[in-house]
Amino acid sequence: MSNISGASSGSSSTRRERVVGVPTVCWCGAQIVGKISKLDSNPYRRYFHCAYVVSNKLMDDNHVFKWVDEALLNEVERLSSEAKRLEQMMRESEIVFDGVEYEKVVFDKVLMKVKK
């Protein structure tokens, strides 16, 4: 009788070109700088770009590049899902809030007795 089932699902996909939210550092180690587009297709649109590429005026697409509005949208989506998760946690720990509520009721009753 053999009981071997080594199906460990450990697939790690490293996608360095897709940064979630606002990028802070490029994979090359350089800082991310905010720039304003001068392209005709996207005039005055703000973007984040690798400082190394910007300072050396390279035409390198491998470094971090992200539109600011897309980055902020990502950030908002991430935060709203985070808020939902926290809301769920609050609901699950409702007992704690019930305890606080109970203490408040007791306190109110004591106050009424004192007033009488």
If phi over 0 gives left and psi between -120 and 50 gives alpha, with beta otherwise, what is residue 44?
left
Surface-to-core class of residue 32, CB atoms within 10 Å of its CB (0-12 exposed, 13-18 middle, 19+ buried): buried
Site for Zn ion in 23-62 (CB under 5 A): 26, 28, 30, 50, 52
Site for Zn ion in 78-107 (CB under 5 A): none
Closest to Zn ion by CB, 58 vs 96, is 58
Cα separation of 73 and 70, whole Å? 5
Shortest Å, Cβ 70 to Zn ion: 18
Closest to Zn ion by CB, 24 vs 80, is 24
Residues that bind Zn ion (CB under 5 A): 26, 28, 30, 50, 52, 63
